[in-house]
Structure 1
Amino acid sequence: MSDTEEERLIAAFRSLAADRRAATLRAIEVQAQMDLAKSIQRSKPIVCSPTEIIEVDLIDKLALAISTHLKPPPIPLSVDLWDIGIIATFLKREPQVVRERIACMPSFPRAIRLPTKNCRTQPLYKAKEIIEWAEKHQERN
């Protein structure tokens, strides 16, 4: 996770906490009072204090906020397949340039076209092969 993403997450957490703190505290207070009343009626001790309820509630909200901002783990380059758009980003070129001038070169890695029922799919390329191909074109001193 980059520093910028981490800073955005921290800001989101702080904003979430600030926006919901008053409402959450009131709801927790009401819930704690209800739990206390039930506990007194049953003559059983309270399982946790209102402070512990606040911590659990905040932890649950933070976990939810984190999960909505997390991305799935990246696919390893050794098995990832790239389309023309990703290759264009990697090579710092426009997709049209990659499609019309680079992918058609004889030395460029062969495309993978996954079968479908009705039509031909877009070409995919092994990320590892694209990286190796690009590194072969490095200037020598």
Structure 2
Amino acid sequence: MIEAKDKMRVVLLTPSKRLLDLSGVSELYFPSEHGAVGVLPGHAPMVTAVGTGVVLYSQNDVSGFFKVAGGVAEITCSSVTLLVDVGEEATTIDLDRAKRALERAEGRLAAKELGNVDVKRAETSLARAQARIEAVELHANKNSKEKKSV
């Protein structure tokens, strides 16, 4: 499929399912291992590791949000493919559960001096919980702004 010069195709895949396959996207932001990456149509080709955080895309002034963790991204001038280890659409995330996971991870990290704490695992849990909460909050803010403008 050939995209218009000012649009691109975005595909978001996990090992078990296709979360997103969308044409006509005007911009995309995702976390990499070295910071956030912003992609507009015509971006230079590249491959990079995907970090833990929020994917944001815009299509026709509508935004969507996903929480992702790990994987690889391939960018061409007309498409972006994100092959992620874990991905969740913001609308499917249980906010209360994410907040409880954040509290558990913070508690483990606070108790790391006591030993018996896998610090790397606790830090990973913390980052994933923070990303889930951020995705839900971004989605909620987008919806509240849309309702106010109607």
The TM-score normalised by the length of structure 2 is: 0.23
Which entry has the higher C-alpha Rg, 1 or 2? Answer: 1
